[in-house]
Chain A
Amino acid sequence: MFDLLRIRARMGAQTVAYPDGPARFPERFRGRPALDPARCPDGCRRCAEACPTDAIVDAGKASMGVDLGRCVFCPACAEACPEEAIRFTRDYRLSARTPAELVARDDVPVLARALDEKMRKLFGRSLRLRQVSAGGCNSCESELNAAGNIQFDLSRFGIQFVASPRHADGVVVTGPVSRNMRAALIDTWNATPAPRIVVAVGACACSGGPFRGSPAQCDGLPGVPEIPVDLWIAGCPPHPITVLDGLLRMLARVEGDRLEVVGTGIVK
């Protein structure tokens, strides 16, 4: 008993300061890429050629962008660029309500818009979600689990993962939607009472990720038109704070574009 209390005291309070305080990220964390197409040499497409998931649109042109739904946040494009026209920032906010809004251009933040007032009224203070892994590699799943732990503590916002779609207000999907999981995913969505929301988490659910084109999967939720998606969260996998940011913005619990990120001071 005394050991228990002693250890409890030693562990201290663990919950992160976000969203009231700054979010803490390591120096090398790769969040939203910032682009400066003015620096691109004429006709250079080296970033697009290096990108493993063809996430770069209009490479070398003024309209150049990175489709975050496809991006696996590897360092390949930044490494390939001779002019530093593409670099990764620590902006952890990587969610959008439509795939088109998930394309990052210049140095403009990608922020999810809120649901309409009726849906906010229904879910704003209590949102129960059922998670379905449909071909996910267990990193998105791990980060969703972490989002519920004592550090990120989803439940302080009234958001919770529940055991049955019957108890849920929505479905969170990870993975490229393997052929063998397609029917079970649609059944789960059908079992969730309306009105309901759908959240796609990770590059695979947004686009198929590195599996895009494989006949054993559906290229993510865009390949399952039966299920309409309300929120797309990019990342490979998205950091728990990225997941929190997407959900909280959708519920209008976090607003505005002020970004507060501090380093950990370990790798400077």
Chain B
Amino acid sequence: MANRVLEAWNGTAVNRRDVPLLPVGEFQQIVGDVVTAGGRVTTMFGSRSDAGDVVVVAALADDPEGKLGLLSTRVADAWPSLTPECPALQGFEREIWEQFGVRPEGHPWLKPLRFEATQAPRDATIPAAYPFFAMQGEEVHEVAVGPVHAGIIEPGHFRFQCHGEHVFHLEIVLGYQHRGMERLLEGGPDKRTIPLAESIAGDTAVGHMVAHVNAVESLAGCQPPPRALALRAIALELERLANHVGDLGMLAGDVGYLPTASYCGALRAEFLNALAELCGNRFGRGLVAPGGVRFDLAPEAAERLADRLHDAWERVQSAADLFFRSPSARNRTDGTGVVSREQALALGLVGPAARASGVARDVRRDHPTGMFRFRHIPAVTGESGDVFARGWVRLLEAERSAEFVVSELRHLPRGQVRIACGPPAPDRMVVSMIEGWRGEIAHVATTGEGGRFVRYKVKDPSFHNWMGLAMALRDEQISDFPLCNKSFNLSYCGHDL
């Protein structure tokens, strides 16, 4: 297999012409074998070659070895679907179909993924144009929710097939947030690239931005200084803390447990405000730039910030304890929305959603880049795969993040925080992965002859995990949907791009 797959590492650019171009059969054989043997497809995407035909590239992850494998194939207007054997590929095959018209023959769930303007008929509206799965039978009924929801959340459409309160099946229709992200990034890097990368998913601005600069720096052969790497890692963990803490509050709110809902809602601000102390924006926008970070911290300021965060974390812990020790709250979370380990593996779930089901996957540990090469954060796993486990795993990993941030702030490496980063080299390809707070983010940047992006593929962790939410709702009560939804808290815009 050695010369049929190009060995690569996270955030290390390769010559794009070195990626083996295999016949479709051989390509699919390798991908299928790797997945059934317990490997993972980090991303698989199409792109238009110079000659105008569609080339599919797959990045296979060998997590125990910390390696990636790259391979590609040229496809015509159809190819056999691997989804029946490897359900984790369902989204990738649908995406390639939607973006390039390559039909995966035998795909069991071949439906529009995000109604991209490039393929969808001009007058298609969601959900009207969507072929829903429907059940028939006495007293079976449908419940339709969205795209405009009751709370302040992004749009998506949820269709439940129910019998009374009992949910047989939930179908999730996305695409409302499609803004044309990948197209806008093509031709870059240019002055718009940074705000775009920060807006792939605004609640993960730092995660996507670090994935982006890691890609750009490796294409340009730039090594940012250690102090910048430490500040990036701090920002990344602050982002994780803000979101995990906020979501614990939201979980408490959804079961009507108001003390934790109120406290965590406010405590989330401590971590957002820490990002604003660092860079002026509560979501970390403007902090990360190619070559390093734009803002430094004086030693006394770092110390004050560390003290403040240490204190904030203690308050989070007491607010979270209230919730997890409340029998009435636990009654709602325990055993609700279970995703088994087998399901999580089959669907290729990532991040806390996978770890809550006992699948220990964490880019910071398996494919470390930046500061995580030197400072390790233990991966936290749960067992039960229910709402409780997803909440508990997030609390525990937020605790590790808080320890990490406080300790890093007190031991920042010396030196500058930014160096010049030249233009990307031509004809290179790099896979850049980051463990965002929802899980594995992967960006694949490919440059053409002039060193410009000819294709910039973005994968948000939600791309894998939305199907996990659909599975979690099977045989549940429809009234538990908000709770299950919040326990995943997936990104609509990160999926829709």
Contacts and interface: CB of A to CB of B under 8 A. Distances in A.
Interface stretch (B263-271, B385-393, B420-428, B466-474): B263-271
Given A88-B280, A188-B148, A217-B179, A149 B202 contact: no
Nearest to B491: A138
Given A179-B117, A184-B147, A188-B148, A140 B179 contact: no
B477 interface: no
B194 interface: yes
Interface stretch (A3-11, A33-41, A106-114): A3-11
B279 interface: yes
Interface string B287-316: 000000011011011001100100000010
Nearest to A130: B148
A34 B284 CA distance: 22
Contacts of A52: 191-192, 194-195
Interface stretch (A119-127, A208-216, A221-229, A252-260): A208-216
Given A53-B192, A180-B178, A138 B492 contact: yes
Given A4-B322, A75-B294, A135-B179, A184 B155 contact: yes
A207 interface: no
Contacts of A181: 147, 155, 176-177
A139 to B, nearest CB: 3
A146 interface: yes
B195 A210 contact: yes
Contact of A209 (B116, B151, B191, B199): B199
A136 B282 CA distance: 16
Interface string B131-165: 00000000000000001101111110000000000
Given A137-B493, A181-B155, A26 B180 contact: no
A72 B283 CA distance: 12
A145 interface: yes
Given A28-B295, A52-B191, A52-B194, A7 B319 contact: yes
Contacts of A151: 265-266, 269
B19 to A, nearest CB: 29
Interface residues of A, number: 75
Interface string A72-87: 1111100100000000
Contact of B286 (A49, A74, A265): A74
B183 interface: yes
Interface string B269-285: 10011001111111101
Given A163-B151, A184-B147, A217-B179, A210 B493 contact: no
B233 interface: no
Contacts of A25: 276
A234 interface: no
Interface string A168-198: 0000000110111101100010000000000
Interface in A1-53: 3-4, 7-8, 10-11, 14, 25-30, 49-53
A148 B250 CA distance: 13
A115 B205 CA distance: 35
A131 B152 contact: yes
Given A140-B202, A215-B117, A267 B180 contact: no
A114 B191 CA distance: 37
Nearest to B196: A210
Interface string B183-200: 110000001101110011
A97 interface: no
A50 to B, nearest CB: 6
A165 B150 CA distance: 9
Given A30-B280, A209-B195, A266 B152 contact: no
A204 B179 CA distance: 11
Contacts of B272: 146
B419 to A, nearest CB: 15
B55 interface: no
Contacts of A204: 199
A10 B205 contact: no
A215 to B, nearest CB: 6
Contact of B195 (A3, A72, A215): A72
A6 B188 CA distance: 55
Nearest to A210: B195
Contact of A138 (B115, B117, B276, B493): B493
Given A14-B266, A74-B194, A133 B277 contact: no
Interface in A135-160: 135-146, 148-151
A163 B149 CA distance: 7
B177 to A, nearest CB: 5
Most chain-A CB neighbours within 10 Å: which of B199, B286, B493?
B199
Contact of B301 (A11, A146, A266): A266
A161 interface: yes
B12 interface: no
Nearest to A30: B280
Interface of A: 3-4, 7-8, 10-11, 14, 25-30, 49-53, 72-76, 79, 88, 130-146, 148-151, 161, 163-165, 175-176, 178-181, 183-184, 188, 204, 209-211, 214-217, 236-237, 239, 264-268
Given A146-B268, A267-B297, 5 more contacts: A52-B191, A132-B155, A135-B177, A141-B153, A142-B283
26 contacts: A10-B318, A26-B273, A27-B277, A28-B276, A28-B278, A73-B281, A75-B280, A133-B152, A133-B153, A133-B177, A134-B176, A136-B202, A137-B201, A138-B201, A139-B285, A142-B202, A149-B262, A161-B152, A178-B178, A180-B114, A236-B281, A237-B202, A239-B282, A266-B308, A267-B301, A268-B298
- What are the 7 closest A-B residue pairs judged by CB atoms, nearest first? A139-B202, A137-B202, A216-B180, A163-B150, A28-B280, A214-B180, A210-B195
